Amino acid sequence: MMLELRKLTAAYGKAIALEGVDLQIAQGELVTVLGPNGAGKSTLLKVVSRALPSQGTLEFEGQSLHRYSTEQVVGRGICHCPEGRRLFAELTVLKNLQLGAYLRRDKAAVAADFERVYSLFPILAERAQQIVGTLSGGQQQMVAIGRALMGAPKLLLLDEPSVGIAHRLKLEIFDAIRKICDDGVAILMAEQDAQSALGIADRAYVLEHGHVAQQGSAAELGKDDRVRRIYLGVG
């Protein structure tokens, strides 16, 4: 397994946010984490990127991540595209993308990754000199994903990439996410739009109150009565 969580627990002070979570991601997989507000989806991503301490097994490529800092985790190949995007709104698209590569010294590969980001999101090439704060929400999300890709991830963590985005751009972004995975980057994606997420994911976990309530292939969960009722709003 590329990523392995077993009996993973995390808390904010005394408030437990994740309890006994088991989750695995294999190389090349696109895994989505569904669940209501407050279920612990963002917390899960923060734990993997080491932005929040945790207890239990947290392994990447067979090695525990517990002694790694957030920066060291990026160096190991895990890049986090956080909730709310966290871009530098007053800087250009280009500068934001460059900042995603700040730990890298492999100039030729960085240049190739710029091309990859611009081919996934052609609008970003056109808008390279535009101040990010003046882009639409969907375009900003593209910058956020692009910036994470500029870190050369083996595993990309995406926190609700579709939130607050117009339908057409949303489809474009989900297509791009699938493509990133098909090009060899494993993805762990928290998402509230279960329909779109299950449409591109290989497997899914449903988090509720900090624990895994359901899991399975995206196809299985898409047909599951409970998932359909609660998360797809049908039946």
Ligand X SMILES: Nc1ncnc2c1ncn2[C@@H]1O[C@H](COP(=O)(O)OP(=O)(O)OP(=O)(O)O)[C@@H](O)[C@H]1O
- Residues in contact with Mg ion, total (CB under 5 A)? 3
Phi-psi category of residue 216: left, alpha or beta, with phi > 0 → left and psi -120 to 50 → alpha: left
Interface residue with Mg ion among 30, 40, 42, 180 (CB under 5 A) is 42
Smallest distance from ligand X to CB 53, Å: 13
- Residue 135: CB partners within 8 Å, gap ≥ 6? 93, 127, 143
Residue 17 C-beta: closest distance to ligand X, Å: 4
By C-beta, is 143 or 158 nearer to Mg ion? 158
**CA–CA separation, 201 and 189 (whole Å):** 9
Task: Give the burial string for 17-35 (b: 16+ CB within 10 Å, else e).
Answer: bbbebebbbeeebbbbbbb
Say whether residue 108 binds ligand X (CB under 6 A).
no
113 vs 159, beta carbon nearer Mg ion: 159
Cβ proximity to ligand X, 85 vs 127, nearer residue: 85
Termini Cα distance of the chain: 35
Using the rule CB under 6 A, give the single segment among 34-42, 109-117, 121-129, 143-151 that binds ligand X: 34-42
Q: CB-wise, 101 or 198, nearer to Mg ion? A: 198
Binding site for Mg ion (CB under 5 A): 41-42, 83
